[in-house]
Amino acid sequence: MIRSVLRRLFPVPSPPPSPVMASSVSPADVGLHDAVLDGWFNGSTGELLKGFAITAQDTLLDVGCGEGVATLFAVRQGASVIFTDSEPDKVHHLDRQVKAQALAPSLGVVSNSLPLPLADACASKVVCMEVLEHVDTPEQFMAELVRMGRPGAQYLLSVPAPVGEHLQQGIAPAGYFQAPNHVQVFSHERFVALVEDAGLIIEHRQATGFFWVMGMIFFWASERAAGRDLGGAVRDRIQAPYPPLMTSWARTWQDLLAQPDGLAIKQLLDQLMPKSQVIIARKPHTGSVPCLGATSC
C-alpha cells in the first residue's frame, strides 16, 4: 500500500517531521516519518528507497505515477523523468509540477500500460508501486515494465502484503477488492515469482507499513460508524480531514516511536503485519541497447 497511501496523503516528499507534541497529529506526517525510518526519501543520498539511488544521469520511468511522489523525488535529483497513469487529470497535474521544477527532459503519458506507448529500453530506473494489484494480467504488465528498462536497469516494485489485505477484507467495503481497485492479492512467493519469471534479478526485499495496516482498519471502522457508503470512490477517500480514531492511532504510533525501543518494536511489527511488500530488482546486462532518453520515448 506504500504507493497508494503516500501518493494520496503527501504528494511532495519532504524530510521527516520532528515529533509533534500537540494534541492534533496528522496521520500523513506520522506516516511520512514512519516511511523515512524504513529508508524512503533520503535526499542527501538520492535514494528513493535505501538501495535505489537516483542521479542526474538517470531516466526514471514512473508507471502508475498517481500524484507523483517518485517522479518529483527524481526531478529533485536532476534526473530525466517519464511518468504514466491511466487517469488524465493526474498526469496533467503532475506534468505542470514537473515542468515548474525540472531542468532535465520530461514526458507525461496517459496510458493503462498495456501496452505502454514508449520505445524499448527508455529508462535506467523503473518504479511501479502499488499498481500490480489493480491489474488483471500482471504477467503481461511485468513484461512491459521489463521491456522499458535498459540492460542493467534497476526496478522498485511494491504490492500490498497478503496479511494486510486479508485483515481488511472483513471491514473494507466490497469495492476495495473490485475493479478498478484490488483485483489481485499477492502472496510473498507469488510476488517473487512474478518478478523473477519476468527475467529480473532480485537485489532486496522489504516488508513495511504496520502503521498503515492499523490506520486503514481504523479508517474503515470510522467510515462504517459514520454510515458512509464509499461505493466506487474507495481509492480517493483517505485524505484530510482524518477521522478522530485514525488521528488517535497516529498519536499513539508517534509516541511509541519516541520510546527507547520504539524503532525495534516498529521493525518487528512491520515484519509480523506489513501493509506492503517491496522488491528492488535489476535487469541483467544481456547486451548493448541504445540509450534513448525521455525525449525519444
Q: What is the pLDDT of residues 59-92, one digit of tens each?
A: 999 999 999 999 999 999 999 999 999 999 999 9
Measuring CA to CA, which residue among 143, 152, 146, 148 is closest to residue 121?
A: 148
Rounded to the nearest 5°, which phi and psi values hold at 201? -105, 120
pLDDT band at 23 (very low <50, low <70, confident <90, very high): low
- Judge contact between 36 and 57, C-beta under 8 A: no
CATH numbers and ranges of domains, the chain: 2-123+131-286 (3.40.50.150)
Question: pTM score > 0.75 for this model?
Answer: yes
pLDDT band at 240 (very low <50, low <70, confident <90, very high): confident
The Cβ of residue 260 has, within 10 Å, a number of other Cβ atoms equal to 6
Amino acid type, 52: F
Question: What pLDDT, on a 0 to 100 scale, did the predictor assign at position 174?
Answer: 86
% helix, strand, coil for the chain, step of 5: 40, 20, 40
Q: Range with the lowest mean pLDDT among 123-127, 203-207, 287-291?
A: 287-291
- Judge contact between 72 and 13, C-beta under 8 A: yes
Q: What is the pLDDT of residues 175-192, one digit of tens each?
A: 899 999 999 999 999 999
Question: What pLDDT, on a 0 to 100 scale, did the predictor assign at position 294?
Answer: 38
Q: Range with the lowest mean pLDDT among 162-171, 186-195, 209-218?
A: 162-171
Query: Mean of the pLDDT values across residues 35-56?
Result: 97
Judge whether residue 12 has pLDDT over 60: no
- Judge contact between 55 and 79, C-beta under 8 A: yes
The Cβ of residue 63 has, within 10 Å, a number of other Cβ atoms equal to 26
Q: Range with the lowest mean pLDDT among 21-35, 40-54, 143-157, 195-209?
A: 21-35
Query: Mean of the pLDDT values across residues 140-149?
Result: 97
**Can you tell me whether residue 293 is helix, strand or coil?**
coil
Q: What is the pLDDT of residues 130-140, one digit of tens each?
A: 999 999 999 99
Query: Mean of the pLDDT values across residues 227-242?
Result: 62
Helix (H) or strand (E) holding 190: helix 188-197
Question: What pLDDT, on a 0 to 100 scale, did the predictor assign at position 230?
Answer: 54
**Can you tell me whether residue 240 is helix, strand or coil?**
coil
Distance, in Å, from the CA atom of 215 to the CA atom of 38, rounded to the nearest integer, reads 17
pLDDT band at 195 (very low <50, low <70, confident <90, very high): very high
The cell for 89 is: 487529470
Query: Mean of the pLDDT values across residues 249-265?
Result: 97
Distance, in Å, from the CA atom of 261 to the CA atom of 258, rounded to the nearest integer, reads 8
Judge whether residue 238 has pLDDT over 90: no
Question: What pLDDT, on a 0 to 100 scale, did the predictor assign at position 241?
Answer: 86
Q: Range with the lowest mean pLDDT among 3-12, 139-148, 235-244, 247-256?
A: 3-12
Query: Mean of the pLDDT values across residues 6-22?
Result: 43
Mean pLDDT of the chain: 88
Distance, in Å, from the CA atom of 126 to the CA atom of 83, rounded to the nearest integer, reads 10
Query: Mean of the pLDDT values across residues 263-292?
Result: 85
The distance between the two most distant Cα atoms of the chain, rounded to a whole number of Å, is 58
| Site of grid cell 470510522 | 222
Rounded to the nearest 5°, which phi and psi values hold at 173? -65, 155
